[in-house]
């Protein structure tokens, strides 16, 4: 029974640690980039090197 209580405490504390780290990364702006390279790849407006659109 002691092991079960220990496992619950360890799992709850790990969950709280990861929650705090997630909140810190959100506050610092880690997830604020809307147009990542994967999204930019799917956009239709491709531009050549001189700035004109390629049709």
Over residues 31-45, the mean pLDDT reads 70
Each residue of 9-25: pLDDT tens digit? 999 999 999 999 999 99
Nearest-angstrom CA–CA distance, 8 and 12: 6
Tokens of 47: 């531009």
Q: If DSSP codes are grouped into helix, strand and coil, which group holds residue 3?
A: helix
pLDDT confidence of residue 14: 98
Cα–Cα separations (whole angstroms), residue 1 to 5, 6, 8, 24: 7, 9, 11, 35
């Amino acid at each position: 029974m002691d092991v079960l209580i220990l496992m619950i405490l360890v799992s709850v504390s790990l969950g709280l640690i990861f929650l705090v780290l997630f909140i810190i990364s959100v506050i610092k702006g880690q997830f604020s980039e809307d147009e990542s390279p994967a999204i930019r790849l799917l956009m239709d407006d491709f531009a050549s090197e001189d700035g004109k659109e390629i049709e």
